[in-house]
Structure 1
Amino acid sequence: MDWIGTVVGIITGGGVTGVVTSIYGAKKSAQVGMSGNEVEAAKAKSADWASYVERIEAGMAKLEGRVSALEAQNREAESYIDRLQTHIWMGLAPPPPERK
Structure 2
Amino acid sequence: MTYNLEIEALRPRLQASDAGMRRIALIDLADLEDPDGLEWLVDSLRNDPSIEVRAQAATLLEAWEDGEVVQALCEALTDTEYSVRDAAAQSLSVL
**Would the TM-score normalized by the shorter structure come out above 0.5?**
no
More helix by share: 1
Shorter-chain TM range is: under 0.3
Give me the TM-score of the superposition, normalised by structure 1: 0.19
Q: Which has the larger radius of gyration?
A: 1
